[in-house]
Amino acid sequence: MKSDLLSNIYNPADLRLLKEEQLTQVAQELRQFIIDVVSVKEGHLGASLGVVELTIALHYVFNTPEDLLVWDVGHQAYGHKILTERRENFHTNRQLGGISGFPKRAESIYDTFGVGHSSTSISAALGMAIASKLKGDSEKQHIAVIGDASIASGMAFEGLNHAGVTDANILVILNDNAIGIDPSVGALKKYLTAVKNGKNPKQNNIIKSLNFDYSGPIDGHDFPTLIKELNRLKKIKGPKFLHIVTTKGKGLQQAEENQVKYHAPGKFDASTGEIHLKSEENLPPKYQDVFGLTILDLAKKNEKIIGITPAMPSGSSLKFMMNELPERAFDVGIAEQHAVTLAAGMATQGMIVYCNIYSTFLQRAYDQVIHDVALQNLPVIFCLDRAGLVGEDGATHHGVFDISYLRSIPNLIIYAPINEIALQNILYTAQLGLNNPIAIRYPRGRGVLPNWEVENFGHYETIKIGEGNCLKTGTTTAVLSTGSIGNNVIEALKECHNSDAIAHYDFGFIKPLDTKLLNTIFSSFESIITIEDGVKKGGFGSAVLEFAATNNFKNKVEILGIPDEFIEHGSVLQQQQLCKIDVKSLINLFSNGSK
């Protein structure tokens, strides 16, 4: 009977005590460990299963943590975490107070660079390699592991372009599985496919042209080949590139066969792989599906409508339009900057472009929003999915900065719908013809209207730009909310014994603000409370304070939102509780503050 090897591996030093022929058993145990925990605790599954052999081989061959290993994005780093002193805590992955779902410098000496967004690994590892050289350390190894979807991003090529003219001791490993979250797209994907199939002439090797010592493609699940090649590359100085071919979801049949669904499948049966289906009966729709269904409906009626997403067709639900109107819906790969300027180019030709980018990823295209869209006042429609707190992905993925970073940009309209009806109506209004670009921010997860699709889908009303709404009257305190967090206010006011004293206003438009309504509010109420699912500094509350100062109002104003700190991983409810914007915290505030 085989002994349990994984339970005796605390860190890579223990791993290196094993014989090479024992590593296959370690891989089997590590895969099963990941499957067992993720099936119950949830998380990113397929990516980590695909790199089990590579992870073991890297820690076996290289002297980590002295040798520096950088994972791109970090979805695939679960095996790495388990082998680097976190096996016993791995069950806390992505939970409040537990370990992060991504590599994080503050968590472990083995996590050399904090990641979460794609395509940063080559630049980071190159920076480390150049620093080592300047410090006189010529033996230290620097390894960047990047996927085929991430390497197609502009920043990855910027890193390759620089590395190729240095003598830095860097090894870039391309983990080529033909998929990111959704299948990889673009000309580079076709090139890599040709290389894997042996159809691309050696003299056309794009990586060699960038002055890298290129080897591969090799089987990323074959230990003898992997270890032999890593040991060879360890002795070679300068920029090196190893192309390995892996299968995302390796070791779990369903995860291999349905790689999109098993990227982060939720809870599933560890032995069969079957996903535990949650009943969706009588549940409100996901905001992403409200977007996806609405834009498809509008596009069928308006041939000028275009949809664009950078590598998130499933997550944004642009997939609906891509399936039915493929010539007008584009997945441009992990290329947020390109997505924004592509949209701008289309807008110059009279197209109505919905550019759907997660709020956290639009941060990567800030210059393009300013320079290519707003400066030219092109009416691009930005649909910012995952705005606000996003839960278990944590600090790297929260969409809490967009109000603050967009509010300072001239010409730009910013709107946050309170519910599904407001979202579909602003999507409808935007395609009627706006004179300015607009950013529409909406959260991850479900809305609040279980019967939205039956009762409201397709019944559009025009929204008047810059107009707020009174949802509830009151006498002494006015609560001003923007976006879906307003539903927490609605629920809290139902539970307050003194709700008659509290008025509630929905400011869907953060920019332009409804100054006429604000004048009425500040003239009528003793105290004002603002609430937003975004950072307080520079956000919606700040805009209200600016209005008050400009117009010499002296009312007491309290701003609720995300404090000036990065909010760690946990459930959205737990994160709202930390920020005191959950329903219970609001009940306490309203009850105590309005006596």
Using CA atoms, how far apart are residues 299 and 431, in angstroms rounded to an integer? 9
If you average pLDDT over residues 18-41, what whole number do you get? 95
Quick check: is 248 catalytic?
Answer: yes
- Which pLDDT belongs to residue 197? 75
Place 595 in a pLDDT band, splitting at 50, 70 and 90.
Answer: very low
Query: What digits encode the pLDDT tens for the residues 319-338?
Result: 999 999 999 999 999 999 99
The residue that leads in pLDDT, 207 or 129, is 129
Query: What digits encode the pLDDT tens for the residues 141-164?
Result: 999 999 988 998 999 999 999 999
Lowest mean pLDDT among 375-389, 414-428, 445-459: 445-459
Query: What digits encode the pLDDT tens for the residues 57-78?
Result: 999 999 999 999 999 999 999 9
Instruction: Report yes or no on whether pTM surpasses 0.85.
Output: yes
Please say if the pLDDT value at position 594 is more than 70: no
Q: Count CB neighbours of 497 within 10 A.
A: 10
Assess contact for 495 and 587: CB atoms under 8 A. yes
- Which pLDDT belongs to residue 194? 81
Assess contact for 112 and 128: CB atoms under 8 A. yes
If you average pLDDT over residues 27-33, what whole number do you get? 95
If you average pLDDT over residues 289-302, what whole number do you get? 98
The mean of the pLDDT values for the chain is 94
Q: Count CB neighbours of 58 within 10 A.
A: 26
Lowest mean pLDDT among 152-161, 279-288, 517-526: 279-288
Name the token pair of 590: 């309203």
Place 199 in a pLDDT band, splitting at 50, 70 and 90.
Answer: confident
β-bridge pairing 469-472 and 502-506: antiparallel
| Per-residue DSSP letter, 37 | H
Angle between helix 583-593 and helix 572-579 axes, rounded to 10 deg:
20
217 upstream amide cis, omega within 30 of 0: yes
If you average pLDDT over residues 267-285, what whole number do you get? 85
Length of the chain: 595
Name the token pair of 388: 């606000």
Quick check: is 85 catalytic?
Answer: no
Which helix or strand (DSSP H or E) is residue 561 part of?
A: strand 556-562
Using CA atoms, how far apart are residues 179 and 256, in angstroms rounded to an integer? 11
- Which pLDDT belongs to residue 1? 43
Lowest mean pLDDT among 39-43, 393-397, 443-447: 39-43
Q: Count CB neighbours of 472 within 10 A.
A: 16
Supply the DSSP string of 213-269, one letter for each residue. EEEEEEETT-HHHHHHHHHHHHT--S-EEEEEE--TTTT-HHHHH-TTTTSS--SB-
Residues in CB range of 63: below 8 A, 6 or more apart: 141
Check 53, 229, 336, 392 and give the catalytic one: 336
Quick check: is 364 catalytic?
Answer: yes
Query: What percent of the chain is modeled with pLDDT above 90?
Result: 85
- Which pLDDT belongs to residue 180? 67
Which helix or strand (DSSP H or E) is residue 403 part of?
A: helix 402-407
Please say if the pLDDT value at position 244 is more than 70: yes
If you average pLDDT over residues 427-449, what whole number do you get? 97
Q: H helices of 117-199, where?
A: 121-134, 154-163, 187-196
Place 288 in a pLDDT band, splitting at 50, 70 and 90.
Answer: very high
Please say if the pLDDT value at position 209 is more than 70: yes
Please say if the pLDDT value at position 554 is more than 80: yes
Place 294 in a pLDDT band, splitting at 50, 70 and 90.
Answer: very high
Query: What digits encode the pLDDT tens for the residues 92-129?
Result: 999 999 999 999 999 999 999 999 999 999 999 999 99
- Which pLDDT belongs to residue 205? 85
Beta strands in 296-380 (DSSP E): 305-309, 329-331, 352-356
Angle between helix 486-495 and helix 583-593 axes, rounded to 10 deg:
60
Using CA atoms, how far apart are residues 36 and 33, in angstroms rounded to an integer? 5
265 upstream amide cis, omega within 30 of 0: no
Check 364, 444, 511, 536 and give the catalytic one: 364
Give the burial class of 204: count Cβ atoms within 10 A of its Cβ; 0-12 exposed, 13-18 middle, 19 or more buried.
exposed
Lowest mean pLDDT among 59-68, 276-285, 556-565: 276-285
Q: What is the edge-to-edge ordering of all strands in the sheet holding 477-481? A: 469-472, 502-506, 477-481, 527-535, 556-562
Check 86, 248, 444, 536 and give the catalytic one: 248
